[in-house]
Amino acid sequence: IVHIAAVNKERTIDDYQRIYNKIAEKIREDDEYDGYIGYGPILVRLGWHSSGTYNKENNSGGSYGGTYRFKLENTDPSNNGLQNAAHFLDPIYKEFNWISHGDLYTLGAVCAVQEAQGPKIKWRPGRVDLPESATPENGRLPDAVNGADYVRNFYARLKMNDREAVALTGAHCLGRTHLKNSGFDGPWGAASSSFTNEFFVNLLNEQWKLEKNAAGNKQYDSPKGYMMLETDYALVQDPIYLKIVKEYANNEASFFKDFASSFQKLLENGIDYPKGAPEYVFKTLDDQDM
Ligand code: DDH
């Protein structure tokens, strides 16, 4: 399977910045969502889940075909709750219907990270909507009830090494788990709508206790009301992961740098970009004094 980016020569960075700005403004406007966390975290999760189906063995899945829009994928139990992010993007797609779904889902995630004061993420257009037959089967997204070996194997399928796996999991600074979506409950930290290294700081510093939640699933809970999935906690149980967690907890700039490159790689997995294909860095609304 080969996925070649289609570069639309009619479009410039300004066209994509306009879409970025629309998404960013709507994040600001619809701020009451999910107890005033807002739509940022779930937009990040949509970008990640629409990319996280990638399989390096045959280059299938991934963000390219925008197949999240098909029922098989958007009803995958791992995607419970993401409908809210898709509906958020509906009016944006209506207004800018020349963009592909894969480009829109990934642009939404890049916008949400940057507007949450995260790092700048380089982004390249060119994903092409594929037919329903390209939709990957359910079950390719990670299962939280697992340890370090599972995490390492899972990220290897996405061509991610240990540093990339740890950096990517740091996105759990954003948002929270929801009993009704995943069977887990609670946020990873205090600042659920700001992109920071808080996930790593909390992993190291909170008093974690493995407990059964109201849905009967095991999760680590702290006295401050924070939580960790078993796959999160695996990052302090494995000595190689632990070293990287400590680095990111002590050095936010190092986390930001690694997250930016790993997230771009995640969103572009399996895509061949022709020589000279454009690569954009978008301005935040703040950068533009908006
Ligand atoms: Fe995650 N994640 N994630 N995650 N994730 C959940 C929420 C969010 C796993 C499981 C869950 C990444 C990696 C993993 C975000 C981003 C990223 C929830 C809760 C579960 C469960 C969903 C719900 O109840 O609504 C597991 C397992 C892994 C793993 O590494 C093995 C990665 C790589 C990212 C990323 O973006 C790079 C975000 C953001 C959320 C918060 C969503 C929200 O609605 O809030």
CA separation, residue 46 to residues 4, 62, 168, 183 (Å): 22, 12, 14, 18
The count of domains in the chain is 2
CATH of the domain at 27: 1.10.520.10
- Enumerate the H helices of the chain as residue ranges: 13-29, 33-36, 40-51, 71-74, 83-95, 101-115, 148-157, 162-169, 179-182, 198-205, 230-237, 239-250, 252-268
Instruction: Give me the pLDDT at residue 214, please.
Output: 96
Domain co-membership, 131 together with 21: yes
The helix (H) or strand (E) run that includes residue 228 is strand 227-228
Domain co-membership, 132 together with 267: yes
Q: Residue 277 domain-assigned?
A: no
Distance, CA of 288 to CA of 22 (rounded, Å): 13
41-59 confidence digits (pLDDT tens): 999 999 999 999 999 999 9
Domain co-membership, 91 together with 155: no
Instruction: Give me the pLDDT at residue 197, please.
Output: 98
Q: 3, 49, 101, 172: which one is catalytic?
A: 49
Domain co-membership, 166 together with 124: no
Instruction: Give me the pLDDT at residue 199, please.
Output: 98
How high is the mean pLDDT of the chain? 98
195-228 confidence digits (pLDDT tens): 999 999 999 999 999 999 999 999 999 999 999 9
CATH of the domain at 158: 1.10.420.10
Q: Which of 179, 229, 255 to mutate to test the pocket of ligand 1 (most atoms within 8 A of CB)?
A: 229
Residue 49 annotated in active site: yes
**Residue 168 beta carbon below 6 angstroms from any ligand 1 atom:** yes
221-253 confidence digits (pLDDT tens): 999 999 999 999 999 999 999 999 999 999 999
Instruction: Give me the pLDDT at residue 105, please.
Output: 98
Please give the full DSSP string across 15-42, using - where no structure is assigned: HHHHHHHHHHHHHHHTTTHHHHT-SHHH
Instruction: Give me the pLDDT at residue 190, please.
Output: 95
Q: Residue 288 domain-assigned?
A: no
Instruction: Give me the percent of the chain exceeding a pLDDT of 70.
Output: 100
Instruction: Give me the pLDDT at residue 245, please.
Output: 99
81-108 confidence digits (pLDDT tens): 999 999 999 999 999 999 999 999 999 9
Domain co-membership, 20 together with 127: yes
Distance, CA of 49 to CA of 74 (rounded, Å): 10
59-75 confidence digits (pLDDT tens): 999 999 999 999 999 99
Give nearest CA residue, ligand 1 atom 35.
Answer: 171
What's the CA-to-centroid distance between 8 and ligand 1, angstroms? 32
116-154 confidence digits (pLDDT tens): 999 999 999 999 999 999 999 999 999 999 999 999 999
Instruction: Give me the pLDDT at residue 252, please.
Output: 98
